[in-house]
Amino acid sequence: MSVLSVWMNGEHVANWERGDRGGRLSYSAHWLQSLSSRPLSLSLPLLPARESHRGEVVGNWFENLLPDSGDIRARLRDRFGLRSTATFELLQAIGRDCVGAVQLLPEGSRPDDLHQIRFRPLDEVQVGAHLRSVSAGPGPGHLAGDDDAFRISIAGAQEKTGLLRHQGRWCVPLGSTPSTHIFKLPLGLVGNMRADMTGSVENEWLCLKLMAAFGIPVAEADMASFDGQPVLVVTRFDRRLADDGSWWMRLPQEDMCQASGLPASRRYESDGGPGIARIMELLRLSEEPGDRATFFKSQILFWMLAATDGHAKNFSLRIEAGGRFRLTPLYDVLSVYPIMGRGPRQLDPQRAELAMAVSGRNRHRRLRNIHRRHWNATARACGIPDGAEAWIGELLERVEPAIGSVERQLPAGFPDQVASSIFGGLRSAARRLASMAQPA
C-alpha cells in the first residue's frame, strides 16, 4: 500500500501518498467544500484539489504523530510484525487513533461505527497487566493485531498508552472509538547519568497542579495505581463527547514542531527548533488574546520550577474551522529539582538549562545564568514594550498561595522528597527573582 487516507470525524480530509522525502499530501474536494474545513496544519495550508504539498514538510507532520523514542518505535514494529520503523509503515498499523483528530486508514476505507461507542471493559487487574505490557515486547506466539488497544499513536518520549473511560469503567476502545485518557508510566532511570525519575508520576501531577494554581490552563491529570502499577492518568483535551452522548469526537490539534513544518528531532531550540520569540510571533494570530501572556508566563514558571523540557512538542495549537487556532492547555511539565545534586546519578544544578533560551547581550538557557533583566529583554524582543514586569509581579504574588493550595491537595503517602524539593526550589527561585534589580 502506498496511500493512506486522512479522516476527521467521518469526513475524508486528504490522501497521503508515500514517496521520497515525505511524499505528497492532497486535500479532497469534499473537504475543501465542507463547513468543517481547515488545514491539517499551519505548515500545510489548504490547496485546490488538484494541487499538493510535497516533500519533508509532509513527512515531518506525520512523523510527529509517532513516539519520539526509537526504542518505543522498535517495540511497535515488533508487536505488529512490521518490516521497519518507517513513519508510513508504523502509521499504517497504528494510525487509527492519533493525537488530534486524524484517523489514517487504507485508501478506499471509511471509519467504521463512527457514531457508536465500542469497547471492551477491563477490571483493575487487566488494566495493570495492560500497563505492564506497554513497555514489553511481544511475547512468544504473539500475533499482530492480538491487542487492539495498541493500535494508537501517541507522540512523546515517555512510555504511555490510551484507554477509554465509559460508564464508570476503563475500557479498550474498539473500531473507530477513540481513547479518552492517556496513561503515563513512571520514567525510571533517565539520561546518561541514569538519574532516578521513578517519581515522575507524582512529579508531573504536582507540577501541573502548581501551574494551574498560577492560572495557567493545563491538562487534567490524576495519579492512580492498577494492580500495583502506578500511572498518571491524563484526560485528553483533544476528545469531546458528542452532544447526544452517542460517540466521541476528535478535536484537531498539532504541536509546534508540526506547525513549523519541522521534524521531531528539531524540537529543541538548540537543535534548530522554534524558541520563545518565534512562538510569540506565531501567537499574535491566535483567536485567544491571552495566549501570548500564557505562553510567556509558562516560560518564567518553567525557570522557577526547573521544568527543563519545555520544547516545541510540549506546546500545541487547537486548529479550528477556517484555519483559526489557539493554544491548547499545557501538558508534560516535569521538574528536575528532585534529581538535582552533585552526587552520582544526580543533575548538577550548575548544568540545568531550559529548552528555550532567554535574551540579553547573550542568549541564556542555564537556570543559574538567567536573571530578571533577561525576562524583560526577551519580552521587549517579542513586542512587549514594558517588558515582563507585570507578569513577573503577578507570578511572585501567587507563589505562596499556589504552594498552599497544592499542599492541601497532596494525598496521604505522597513522596516527601518530590514535594519538598519542588516546593523548596520554587520558593528559592521566587526569592532570587524578587531580589533582582527591576528596570528603572
Q: Give catalytic residues, as residue numbers.
A: 309
Q: Are 27 and 15 in contact (CB under 8 A)?
A: no
What span, in angstroms and rounded, lies between the C-alpha atoms of 205 and 224?
11
Take residue 392 and report the three cell numbers written for it.
513577573
Which residue shows C-alpha cell 540579553?
A: 360
β-pair partners for 231: 224
What is the gyration radius of the CA atoms in the chain, in angstroms? Answer: 22
User: Residue 307's beta-bridge partner residues?
Assistant: none
Distance CA 165, CA 239 (A): 12
How many whole angstroms separate alpha carbon 372 and alpha carbon 438?
A: 7
Q: Which residues contact 296 (CB under 8 A, 6 or more apart)?
A: 276, 280, 379, 382, 384, 388, 391
Closest CA to 75 of 145, 143, 160, 134: 134
Sign of the Cα torsion 379, 354, 70, 143 reads: negative
